[in-house]
Amino acid sequence: MKLIKIYDETCDICAMLAGYDKKISEDFGFSFNQISVEELASGNSTLRDYIIPVYVTPNEGMIDLPIYLLVTEQEEIQASGIIQTVEELNNLINSWRTWESFQNV
pTM attached to this predicted model = 0.94
Residue of 10, 16, 58, 15 lying closest to 38 (CA atoms): 10
- Which amino acid is it at 80? S
pLDDT at res. 105: 61
pLDDT at res. 17: 96
Q: Tell me how far apart the alpha carbons of residues 62 and 27 are, in angstroms, rounded to a whole number.
A: 32
> What does residue 33 show for φ and ψ, rounded to 5 degrees?
-140, 145
Domain annotation for the chain: domains and CATH numbers: 2-103 (3.40.30.10)
Give the other-Cβ count within 10 Å of 45's Cβ: 13
Tens digit of each residue's pLDDT (9 = 90 or more) over 59-96 = 888 999 999 999 999 999 999 999 999 999 999 999 99
Q: Tell me how far apart the alpha carbons of residues 98 and 16 are, in angstroms, rounded to a whole number.
A: 27
Four-residue CA torsion sign, 31, 83, 6, 68: positive
